[in-house]
């Protein structure tokens, strides 16, 4: 194992997270929650392997605040990768196991690594329907069935996902996207434009987030052609799609990935936000974190009819919903020219009941309840028919 020179993780209750997302990719649900979890647990965030030609199997450890990120490193042709990762993770946690251990999954694909590691509570925080995403592994559905059979708690990242999963677990809880209001409300205060945005004319319509198969490329292309005097500012990394497929026009500006800390500075200079999500299998259950983030920034926003956005924000009039390019152009024109009176006050009222701090507090209470059930420490098994600890305790 190799590690940056930081203080050692102290022996205490551990939360061992297994994620399909890299910590340094885009700051979203996992980072928001686990940074807060580090107040109550020693948190180790285990990423998917990084493949390096000729590398011997190892575990790279790096501190990000109070979270220790563990990245398996190995050669692309490494055989029995899961066994090597498990061995290194086990070496890491054994000297730290003086308290309770929580396994926290974002991906069922980590089960071959973690299923035999000891755990006192197993949490599946299902933030997306990963099986519907592009290039989803064939084994993912099977492994999710196993995880749903062995986890003690199921959390879902939105109402639609909760409705789809709640019948598959006895202890399922819906935790939609929350908001760090204090961070995004900075966009409401005047400040200079970032240098790569300052020369872009107004009106500016902006999007920030991962640009992948969930993004409606034809919609952006048609909208930009229909409104050549509007300027579309696009922020975020492009993944799983060919950048050559992205529309190019004088009024479309691809500014690339920005740090989370920079986002308020960019949003401050926009006149409206839009969420051009495609309506397909990959977006059927999403609950975009950027919806409350746009609103906290004080930006009116128009979205395609994503179910959770429609129900939570469209029904209350906080977000306008539009389908094709003509409808979206009309909705954007409406919010640009005539903001509704009282809209911002209604936004603030809605967001006042949502925060990542509160979400973690509620999750932590459920974890403590699960840990208090009369049951010896649990190791997840490979049996798809395994039951949750709560169910098992009823038969003790």
pLDDT of the residue at 10: 65
Question: Tokens at residue 93, please?
Answer: 């946690």
pLDDT digits (tens, 9 = 90+) for 72-110: 998 988 888 888 899 999 988 887 767 899 999 999 999
Question: 294 with 185, same domain?
Answer: yes
pLDDT of the residue at 387: 41
Most confident option among 266-275, 281-290, 335-344: 266-275
Question: 56 with 186, same domain?
Answer: no
pLDDT of the residue at 136: 84
pTM for this model (two decimals):
0.90
What is the domain extent for residue 73?
A: 2-178+357-393
pLDDT of the residue at 80: 84
Res. 389: pLDDT tops 80: no
pLDDT of the residue at 341: 85
Question: 249 with 301, same domain?
Answer: yes
Question: 198 with 280, same domain?
Answer: yes
pLDDT of the residue at 251: 98
Structural domains in the chain (count): 2
Question: 262 with 227, same domain?
Answer: yes
Question: 341 with 226, same domain?
Answer: yes
pLDDT of the residue at 11: 61
Question: 9 with 158, same domain?
Answer: yes
Question: 113 with 195, same domain?
Answer: no
Own/partner long-range contacts of 4-11 (Cβ < 8 Å, ≥24 apart): 4/61, 4/62, 4/63, 6/63, 7/63, 9/42, 9/44, 9/68, 9/96, 10/42, 10/96, 11/42, 11/95, 11/96, 11/97, 11/98, 11/99
Q: pLDDT averaged over the chain? A: 90
pLDDT of the residue at 391: 38
pLDDT digits (tens, 9 = 90+) for 26-60: 999 999 999 999 999 999 999 999 999 989 889 99
Question: 57 with 24, same domain?
Answer: yes
- pLDDT level of residue 392 (50, 70, 90 thresholds): very low
Question: 25 with 132, same domain?
Answer: yes
pLDDT digits (tens, 9 = 90+) for 289-344: 999 999 999 999 999 999 999 999 999 999 999 999 999 999 999 999 977 889 99
CATH number at residue 287: 3.40.50.2000
- pLDDT level of residue 375 (50, 70, 90 thresholds): low
pLDDT of the residue at 370: 96
Res. 388: pLDDT tops 60: no
Question: 46 with 155, same domain?
Answer: yes
Question: 123 with 203, same domain?
Answer: no
In the chain, % of residues over pLDDT 90: 78
């Amino acid at each position: 194992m190799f590690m940056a020179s930081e203080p050692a993780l102290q022996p205490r209750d551990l939360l061992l997270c297994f994620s399909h997302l890299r910590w340094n990719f885009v700051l979203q649900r996992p980072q928001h929650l686990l940074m807060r979890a580090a107040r109550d647990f020693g948190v180790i965030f285990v990423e998917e392997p990084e493949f390096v030609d000729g590398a011997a199997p190892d575990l790279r450890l790096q501190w990000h605040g109070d979270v220790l990120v563990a990245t398996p490193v190995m050669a692309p042709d490494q055989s029995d990768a899961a066994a090597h990762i498990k061995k290194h993770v086990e070496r890491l946690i054994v000297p730290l196991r003086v308290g309770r251990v929580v396994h926290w999954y974002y991906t069922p694909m980590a089960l071959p690594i973690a299923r035999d590691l000891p755990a006192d509570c197993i949490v599946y925080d299902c933030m997306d329907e990963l099986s519907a995403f592009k290039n989803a592994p064939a084994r993912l559905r099977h492994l999710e069935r196993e995880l749903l059979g062995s986890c003690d708690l199921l959390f879902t990242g939105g109402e639609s996902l909760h409705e789809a999963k709640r019948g598959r677990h006895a202890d399922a809880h819906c935790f939609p996207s929350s908001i760090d209001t204090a961070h995004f409300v900075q966009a409401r205060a005047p400040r200079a434009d970032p240098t790569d945005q300052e020369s872009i004319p107004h009106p500016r319509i902006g999007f920030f987030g991962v640009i992948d198969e969930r993004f409606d490329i034809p919609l952006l292309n048609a909208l930009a052609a229909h409104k050549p005097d509007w300027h579309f500012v696009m922020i975020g990394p492009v993944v799983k799609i060919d950048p050559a497929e992205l529309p190019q026009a004088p009024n479309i500006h691809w500014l690339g990935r920005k740090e989370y800390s920079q986002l308020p500075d960019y949003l401050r200079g926009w006149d409206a936000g839009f969420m051009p999500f495609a309506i397909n299998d990959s977006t059927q259950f999403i609950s975009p974190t950027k919806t409350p983030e746009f609103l906290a920034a004080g930006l009116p926003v128009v979205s395609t009819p994503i179910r959770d956005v429609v129900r939570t924000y469209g029904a209350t009039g906080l977000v306008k919903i539009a389908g094709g390019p003509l409808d979206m152009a009309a909705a954007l024109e409406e919010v640009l020219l005539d903001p509704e009176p009282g809209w911002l006050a209604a936004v603030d009222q809605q967001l006042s009941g949502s925060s990542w701090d509160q979400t973690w507090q509620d999750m932590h209470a459920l974890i403590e309840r699960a840990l208090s059930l009369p049951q010896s420490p649990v190791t997840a098994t490979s049996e798809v028919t395994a039951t949750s600890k709560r169910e098992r305790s009823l038969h003790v």
